[in-house]
Amino acid sequence: MEPAEPDLSLLESTRWGIVPKLLVAFLCIFGAAMLYFSPPRAPRKLPPERPRPVAPAPQLYVTLAPPAASEAPAAPEGWCCAAGGQLSAASRAACAAARGTFFAAEAEARKSCPTAPSGSPRGRGKGA
């Protein structure tokens, strides 16, 4: 069985009239005349520009520099073993004020300074 061919008679015009053609021609001519004879348009003024939000002030960064060589020389740094076995970095004058022993090298200070034992005086914990 062959497929039936579609009915194309609906796409063909049954009237041959001049009125639709004249209407389309009139509308095209009328539109062109409206464009040609219309008065020139003045350019439209733009609305005033909105003020832009003010940007926050940039952060101020200050670079701290070490004191210049022309200033008073800094005290030599070293290690101080204070009372109770507290080892800290300090100058010779600060160590003398704390009544501690001054060491120039950290390794020597760690060897000679008796530090407090770590851990709890009650012994090892029981855990969680």
Tens digits of residue pLDDT in 55-104:
888 887 877 777 666 555 555 688 888 877 788 888 888 888 888 888 88
User: Who contacts 81 (Cβ-Cβ below 8 Å, separation ≥6)?
Assistant: 87, 100, 101, 103, 109, 112, 113
Token pair for 28? 């095209």
pLDDT at 24: 93
Tens digits of residue pLDDT in 11-43:
777 666 888 889 999 999 999 999 999 888 888
Domain coordinates of the chain in residue numbers?
Answer: 77-112
Angle CA(108)–CA(111)–CA(112) in degrees, nearest 5? Answer: 85
pLDDT at 36: 92
Is the Cα torsion angle 92, 93, 97, 98 positive or negative in sign?
negative
